[in-house]
């Protein structure tokens, strides 16, 4: 009897350890700067992309859970006019040549309104709610979806299209402004950042201040 | 020989083997949470699917103001708004709404009773406040009258007259006492009603806490102007001065308002856009989970609230002044000395912003 009690206590201890180990750390509280700021970003192309999010939660002895959703993201690209310097523009009468800042992502939108769960291919329910594809799990799936889309932006050809459209738009504006001979080129950038650079800079400064 | 050894080993540690079998069975039946199930990955992963370009649009949006913020919203707020805005439709076709929003039926039942009591209490409160106002006015009038009678008593010429005045004073005091008693009883009644209403409010809130979904949303709102399809009507050089350019541009508007699954997603830092704060269904069963419509509704409120916050902070005003500065700077870089920027208003009346080049 004593032995059984001992074993049972050991089991309870192991379970407790498992539970404490699996408890999630409090989510990282946002460092959101609630503020209004000026910008000068010219978006010249908008890509509407879709991604199907599918997943299966397989079980040996219970029914599997399925999730199938069509999602849509809108990505805008263009240039930051604040980065345009005086030395980037050369004017000679009605002839102008401009070296524009590199193309960057101006806005990335992956709205909840664009998530459409296809019910006929979806079976989210398990017996208990903690094992079903619940709200938290779905949010996590959408986050993975967003990460996938962000990672593949570079392969969509958005930079070239944005360059083409920016050229077209600025050529129109420059012609209307009296220039006849227009040359437009772009500065090169190493990596296409999918996040607002200024926001990241502010965030980094905030983190640095917090550290010091 | 080896089988005997295995048998003896199992016989000796049968308890552990039993536990392992039980664990495998309940894990296989998907009863224990994913985090405790060693046969499953900690996180449910999505399958690899391609990102398909559906549409490419040519645009010309100049973003001149941005707002970053954090908001929150919950499902009860959505139900409250829905009952207000779609009351008749819910009444006509409740089944459609209850299927989409399973918590709505219970909310309607509880809220109806609570709202009726709330209205009743509001009326009661108004009446009590009127009564209080009246009561204190009366008390003041009695006080003034008492002072006057006392003066009259002192100045009375005859004993008879004094007695008459003293009797009046006594009557007045009795009247004040009666008023005070009335006041006490009215106050007590009101306090009881107030307590009942507060209890009801608490109980309503407690009930609503049993099934609720709360999201914290972090995102941005961007405003600016549309520069697409500009023609010689919108950009032209002054007839008399070749270094003077005129621009006619649309009024700024909200161009983007987004709360994405990720607010910040970089290799170094990741911050959630929508963060689930509470998801309580009041049941352990998966069938009672929130529907996708309920989730989308709460997220939609967050987004609308973020937009409202940006407008309240004056994003459009900022966008307008920033647009003027941006375009002035740009055209100055193109060699123009003077830039005149006009905004197209809704009725196409021109609003001029005239700032000479410094």
Q: Please say if the pLDDT value at position B30 is more than 80.
A: no
| Separation of alpha carbons B128 and A150, rounded Å | 62
In a domain, A168, yes or no: yes
Q: Is B27 helix (H, G, I), strand (E, B) or coil?
A: helix
Which residues are CB-contacts of A209 (< 8 A; sequence separation ≥ 6)?
A: none
Please say whether the beta carbons of B247 and B193 come within 8 A.
Answer: no
List the single residue in B with minimal CA-CA distance to A131.
Answer: B33
pLDDT of residue A20: 52
pLDDT of residue A146: 96
Task: Identify all chain B residues contacting A7, using CB atoms and an 8 Å cutoff.
Answer: 15-16
The pair of three-digit structure tokens given for residue A200, joined into one six-digit string: 């990241």
Which of A37, A42, A110 has the most B C-beta neighbours within 10 Å, making it the best mutation to test the interface with B?
A42
pLDDT of residue A26: 44
Is the model more confident about B118 or about A52? A52
List the single residue in B with minimal CA-CA distance to A18.
Answer: B36
Work out whether the CA dihedral B343, B229, A81, A156 comes out positive or negative.
positive
The enclosing H or E element of B73 equals strand B51-74
The answer to whether the Cβ–Cβ distance between A36 and B318 falls below 8 Å is yes
Confidence of residue A39 (pLDDT cuts 50, 70, 90): very high
pLDDT of residue B358: 38
Q: Please say if the pLDDT value at position A127 is more than 70.
A: no
Is the model more confident about A110 or about B355? A110
Count the helix, strand and coil residues of chain A and give each as a percent rounded to the nearest 5: 45, 30, 25
Asked if B282 is an interface residue toward chain A (Cβ–Cβ < 8 A), one would say no
- Average pLDDT of A153-160? 92
- Average pLDDT of B5-26? 87
| Separation of alpha carbons B124 and B130, rounded Å | 10
Radius of gyration of chain A (CA): 26
In a domain, A162, yes or no: yes
pLDDT of residue A119: 86
The answer to whether the Cβ–Cβ distance between A131 and B66 falls below 8 Å is no
Average pLDDT, chain B: 89
Q: Please say if the pLDDT value at position A33 is more than 80.
A: no
Which residues are CB-contacts of B289 (< 8 A; sequence separation ≥ 6)?
A: A124, A125, A129, A132, A134, A135, B281
The answer to whether the Cβ–Cβ distance between A40 and B322 falls below 8 Å is yes
Of B65, B295, B333, the CB nearest to A86: B333
Report how far apart, in Å, the C-alpha atoms of B219 and of each of A32, A33, A34, A82, B133 are.
9, 10, 10, 23, 49
Q: Please say if the pLDDT value at position B267 is more than 90.
A: no
Indicate the range of A78-92, A99-113, B97-111 predicted with least confidence: B97-111
Which residues are CB-contacts of B292 (< 8 A; sequence separation ≥ 6)?
A: A115, A117, A138
| pLDDT > 90 fraction of chain A, expressed in percent and rounded | 54
Report how far apart, in Å, the C-alpha atoms of B146 and of each of A108, B32, B138, B160, B173 are.
78, 81, 12, 19, 8
Please say whether the beta carbons of B261 and B273 come within 8 A.
Answer: yes
Q: Please say if the pLDDT value at position A30 is more than 50.
A: no
The pair of three-digit structure tokens given for residue A20, joined into one six-digit string: 């404490």
| Separation of alpha carbons B259 and B296, rounded Å | 12
Tokens 């509407």 belong to residue: A48
Number of CB atoms found within 10 A of residue B346's CB:
7
Which residues are CB-contacts of A38 (< 8 A; sequence separation ≥ 6)?
A: B64, B65, B66, B318, B322, B325
- Average pLDDT of B175-188? 93
pLDDT of residue B192: 94
Q: How many separate domains does chain A show? A: 1
Q: Please say if the pLDDT value at position A141 is more than 90.
A: yes
- Average pLDDT of A178-185? 94
Average pLDDT, chain A: 84
| Separation of alpha carbons B115 and B107, rounded Å | 11
Is the model more confident about A48 or about B103? A48
Task: Identify all chain A residues contacting B70, using CB atoms and an 8 Å cutoff.
Answer: 30, 32, 34
B314: left (phi over 0), alpha (psi -120 to 50) or beta: left
Model ipTM value: 0.83
pLDDT of residue B60: 95
Q: Please say if the pLDDT value at position B273 is more than 80.
A: yes
Confidence of residue B123 (pLDDT cuts 50, 70, 90): very high
- Average pLDDT of A99-121? 93
Asked if B38 is an interface residue toward chain A (Cβ–Cβ < 8 A), one would say no
Q: Please say if the pLDDT value at position B357 is more than 50.
A: no
Q: Please say if the pLDDT value at position B111 is more than 80.
A: yes
pLDDT of residue A27: 43
Which of B66, B242, B279, B303 has the most A C-beta neighbours within 10 Å, making it the best mutation to test the interface with A?
B66
Which residues are registered as beta bridge partners of B351? B343
Please say whether the beta carbons of A77 and A33 come within 8 A.
Answer: no
| Separation of alpha carbons A161 and B56, rounded Å | 9
- Average pLDDT of B297-323? 96
Task: Identify all chain A residues contacting B313, using CB atoms and an 8 Å cutoff.
Answer: 36
- Predicted model pTM: 0.79
| Separation of alpha carbons A160 and A45, rounded Å | 10
**Sheet of B350-355, strand order:** B235-237, B244-250, B338-344, B350-355
Indicate the range of A1-5, A72-76, A135-139, B153-157 predicted with least confidence: A1-5
The pair of three-digit structure tokens given for residue B99, joined into one six-digit string: 């299927």
The enclosing H or E element of A151 equals helix A135-152
Which residues are registered as beta bridge partners of A68? A54
Is the model more confident about A96 or about A4? A96
Confidence of residue B41 (pLDDT cuts 50, 70, 90): confident
List the single residue in B with minimal CA-CA distance to A115.
Answer: B296
- Average pLDDT of B72-81? 93
| Separation of alpha carbons B113 and B119, rounded Å | 10
Confidence of residue B73 (pLDDT cuts 50, 70, 90): very high
Farthest CA pair distance, chain B: 134
The pair of three-digit structure tokens given for residue A56, joined into one six-digit string: 């299966």
Identify the CA nearest to A149 among candidates B221, B59, B49, B255.
B49
Confidence of residue B258 (pLDDT cuts 50, 70, 90): very high
pLDDT of residue B178: 94
Confidence of residue A3 (pLDDT cuts 50, 70, 90): low
Please say whether the beta carbons of B270 and B262 come within 8 A.
Answer: yes
Domain coordinates of chain B in residue numbers? 2-36, 61-93+212-355, 107-209
Q: Please say if the pLDDT value at position A5 is more than 90.
A: no
Q: Which domain holds residue A132?
A: 32-211
Q: Please say if the pLDDT value at position A108 is more than 90.
A: yes
Which residues are registered as beta bridge partners of A50? A72, B52
In a domain, A157, yes or no: yes
Confidence of residue B105 (pLDDT cuts 50, 70, 90): confident
Tokens 């459209």 belong to residue: A165
- Compute the half-sphere exposure of residue B201: CA atoms within 13 Å on the CB side of its CA: 10
């Amino acid at each position: 009897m004593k032995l059984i009690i001992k074993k049972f206590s050991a089991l309870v201890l192991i379970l407790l350890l498992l539970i404490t180990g699996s408890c999630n750390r409090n989510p990282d509280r946002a460092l959101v700067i609630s503020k209004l700021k000026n910008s000068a970003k010219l978006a010249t192309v908008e890509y509407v992309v879709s991604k199907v999010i599918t997943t299966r939660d397989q079980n040996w002895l219970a029914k599997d859970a399925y999730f199938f959703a069509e999602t849509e993201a809108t990505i805008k690209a263009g240039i930051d006019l604040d980065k345009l310097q005086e030395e980037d523009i050369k004017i000679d009468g009605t002839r102008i040549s401009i070296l524009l800042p590199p193309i960057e992502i101006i806005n990335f939108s992956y709205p909840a309104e664009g998530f459409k769960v296809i019910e006929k291919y979806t079976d989210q329910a398990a017996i208990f709610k903690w094992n079903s594809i619940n709200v938290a799990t779905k949010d996590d799936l959408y986050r993975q979806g967003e990460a996938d889309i962000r990672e593949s932006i570079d392969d969509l050809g958005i930079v070239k299209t944005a360059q083409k459209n920016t050229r077209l738009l600025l050529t129109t504006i420059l012609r209307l402004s009296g220039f006849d001979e227009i040359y437009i080129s772009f500065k090169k950038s190493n990596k296409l950042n999918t996040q607002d650079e200024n926001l990241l800079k502010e965030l980094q400064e905030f983190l640095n201040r917090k550290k010091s | 020989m080896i089988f005997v050894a295995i048998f003896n080993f199992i016989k000796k540690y049968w308890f552990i083997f039993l536990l392992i079998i039980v664990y495998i069975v309940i894990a296989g039946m998907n009863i224990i949470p994913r985090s405790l199930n060693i046969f499953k990955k900690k996180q449910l992963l999505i399958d690899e699917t391609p990102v398909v370009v559906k549409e490419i649009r040519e645009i010309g949006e100049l973003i001149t103001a941005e707002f970053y913020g954090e908001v929150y919203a919950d499902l009860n707020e959505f139900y409250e708004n829905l009952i207000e805005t779609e009351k008749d439709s819910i009444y006509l076709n409740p089944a459609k709404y209850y299927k989409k929003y399973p918590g709505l039926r219970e909310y309607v039942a509880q809220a109806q009773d609570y709202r009726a009591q709330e209205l009743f209490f509001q009326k009661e409160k108004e009446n009590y406040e009127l009564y209080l106002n009246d009561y204190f006015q009366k008390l003041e009038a009695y006080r003034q009258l008492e002072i006057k009678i006392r003066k009259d008593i002192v100045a009375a010429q005859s004993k008879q007259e004094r007695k008459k005045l003293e009797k009046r004073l006594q009557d007045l005091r009795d009247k004040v006492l009666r008023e005070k008693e009335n006041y006490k009883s009215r106050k007590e009644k009101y306090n009881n009603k107030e307590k009942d209403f507060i209890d009801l409010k608490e109980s309503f809130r407690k009930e609503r806490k049993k099934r609720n979904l709360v999201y914290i949303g972090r995102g941005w709102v961007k405003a600016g102007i549309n520069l697409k399809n500009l023609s010689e009507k919108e950009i032209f050089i002054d007839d008399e001065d070749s270094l003077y350019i005129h621009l006619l541009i649309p009024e700024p508007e909200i161009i983007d308002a987004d709360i994405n699954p990720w607010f910040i997603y970089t290799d170094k830092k990741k911050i959630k856009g929508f963060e689930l704060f509470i998801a309580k269904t009041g049941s352990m069963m998966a069938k009672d989970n929130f529907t996708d419509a309920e989730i989308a509704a709460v997220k939609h409120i967050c987004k609308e609230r973020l937009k409202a916050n940006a407008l309240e902070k004056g994003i459009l005003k900022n966008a307008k002044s920033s647009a003027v500065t941006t375009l002035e700077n740009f055209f100055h870089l193109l060699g123009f000395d003077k830039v005149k920027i006009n905004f197209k208003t809704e009725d196409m009346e021109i609003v001029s912003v005239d700032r000479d080049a410094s």
